Amino acid sequence: MNDPPRILIVDDNETNRDIIVARLEAHGYETLQAADGQEALTAVTQHRPDLVLLDVMMPNIDGIEVCRRLKSDAAFPFLPVILVTAKVDTKDVVAGLEAGADEYLTKPIDQAALVARVKSVLRIKALHDQVQAQAADLAIWNQTLEQRVEEQVVEIERIGRLKRFLSPQVAQLVSSGDERVLESHRGEVTVVFCDLRDFTAFAEAAEPEEVMAVLREYHRTLGILINKFEGTIERFAGDGLLVLFNDPLPCPDPSLRAVQMAVEMRSEVAKLAVAWRMSGHELGFGIGIAHGYATLGCIGFEGRFQYSATGTVANLASRLCDAALNGQILVDPKVHAAVVAKAELESVASSISRASDARSRHSTSASYIHSAFQYAGVQWTDAWPFRSTMTYLATTAHFRAGRKHALCEMHHFQEGASMASSRRERNPYAKGPTCKCTKSATSWHSARSAASRSLPGAAASLSPR
């Protein structure tokens, strides 16, 4: 439909044409003129009017024949025609309507009736054109629907495949096309490292099928929790998992979220451990959590990339995990400061002593796997021998010789060698009877003292009362 509507006036009498043109232009319509039937057919093809006012009695081709031709032309699916004639016989009116005319006006033309009929027919024309346009849009949409659905299915399958190898957050970023956040950058993250206690001995003694069954159950359980707390799996190797918070997508309270996830992990793995124990597999679970800056981004080669975190914070989380007893969650001072108001913590020395007491009463390892996450106060003691030991383990200082003795010191605590510990408190240069270290006591003492000076705080253990 043209704007303003375009009307073709066909009459062999010029005066009649001028009268109709004057009336219609006064109402804002655009007008065209034709003097006979052939000229009318040509004008319709060239100018595509919205309405034709067609005189019936004309030389050569009369109005009835012109109307019939216009209505039979597929190029004009809906072109309204109003016949204008001096014939008032009913047969003439019927002949015009049967030829396809939409309205009929008799001469002399009543001007008010002319304008009313023009408006009525043009309103129908506008609605018809709107329906036709919508039908055309629908036809185009239907033609592309199958292709778009197929493309979406392919995209969904691609994201599904990505999620099998990448964390959901990283996979979503890759699929969205915005890969800038995957470029190498420096960021502040909370790192969770966890693994099973005594897994190496279990893997060496058990059948491969049993090892795979345990790993599938273990990974499935932890994977649900990692997705629940929106962590990003940096990697997993065997029983060890490294999970990032606050990257590649930022999240509020990353340390608190990591601790909450770790507590639920501990609870769920404790349930698995009961079933494993019934099958003769003695496996424990430990977690280390650290917070700090790391360099993050994709590493690998074409066809196989991995989103990775590089820096001391990841190493620290791994060392804390190594030092954790079964059922323990060890955190560094930064995580401790972030969650101290919402989690109940205690020093490593107190936690180890309690675990040792539990074992001395012939309790199973599950007896001190604590599952509650209490929003209470904080226990934060600073007992000596383990202060320097865990200070060393919670730093990245390279006291290699001292680390071996530090682990031995922890071994004495775990085995309840109270006499050896007491002797060592009185004389730091003395070795305990169960220590198998080959380094000199002087090396241990120097490393311990240096580590103690490097960081006056102690690692904390999440172990609710």
Q: For the segment 34-53, what is each residue's pLDDT rounded down to a tens digit?
A: 999 999 999 999 999 999 99
Task: List the single range of 106-110, 159-163, 355-359, 411-415 with lowest mean pLDDT.
Answer: 411-415
CA atoms within 13 A on the CB side of 110: 7
Q: What is the model's pTM?
A: 0.48
Mean pLDDT value across the chain? 75
Q: How many other C-beta atoms lie within 10 A of the C-beta of residue 239?
A: 22
Helices and strands, number each (H, E), in the chain: 16, 13
Of all residues in the chain, what percent carry a pLDDT higher than 90?
Answer: 40
Q: Is 217 helix (H, G, I), strand (E, B) or coil?
A: helix
One-letter amino acid of 459: A
Q: Is the pLDDT of residue 256 over 80?
A: yes
Please give the pLDDT value at position 173: 66
> Which residue spans within 328-459 are E strands per DSSP?
329-331, 345-347
314 near 243, Cβ under 8 Å? no
The β-bridge relationship of strands 51-55 and 81-85 is parallel
CA atoms within 13 A on the CB side of 328: 25
Name the packing angle between helices 348-360 and 400-414 (round to 10°): 40
Please give the pLDDT value at position 145: 82
C-beta contacts of 199-202 below 8 A and 24+ residues apart:
199/238, 199/239, 199/283, 202/281, 202/282, 202/283
Higher pLDDT pick, 77 / 262: 262
Distances (CA, A) of 197 to 238, 323, 386, 393, 395: 12, 10, 21, 18, 22
408-415 average pLDDT score: 35
Task: List the single range of 14-18, 377-381, 422-426 with lowest mean pLDDT.
Answer: 377-381
Q: Is the pLDDT of residue 465 over 70?
A: no
User: For residue range 386-398, what is the model confidence (pLDDT) as tens digits?
Assistant: 333 333 333 332 3
Q: Is the pLDDT of residue 454 over 50?
A: no
Please give the pLDDT value at position 172: 67
User: For residue range 273-297, what is the model confidence (pLDDT) as tens digits?
Assistant: 999 999 999 999 999 999 999 998 8
Please give the pLDDT value at position 177: 61
Helix (H) or strand (E) holding 462: strand 460-462
Please give the pLDDT value at position 109: 85
Q: Is the pLDDT of residue 360 over 60?
A: no
Distance CA 84, CA 81 (A): 10
Q: Is the pLDDT of residue 431 over 70?
A: no
Give the torsion sign (CA, 144, 149, 150, 151): positive
382 near 458, Cβ under 8 Å? yes
Q: Strand 51-55's sheet: what is its strand order?
A: 30-34, 6-10, 51-55, 81-85, 103-106
Of all residues in the chain, what percent carry a pLDDT higher than 70?
Answer: 69
User: For residue range 306-320, what is the model confidence (pLDDT) as tens digits?
Assistant: 778 889 999 999 999
User: For residue range 172-200, what is the model confidence (pLDDT) as tens digits?
Assistant: 666 666 666 667 889 999 999 999 999 99
Q: How many other C-beta atoms lie within 10 A of the C-beta of residue 395?
A: 19
Domains, the chain: 6-134 (3.40.50.2300), 183-339 (3.30.70.1230), 347-465 (no CATH)
426 near 315, Cβ under 8 Å? no
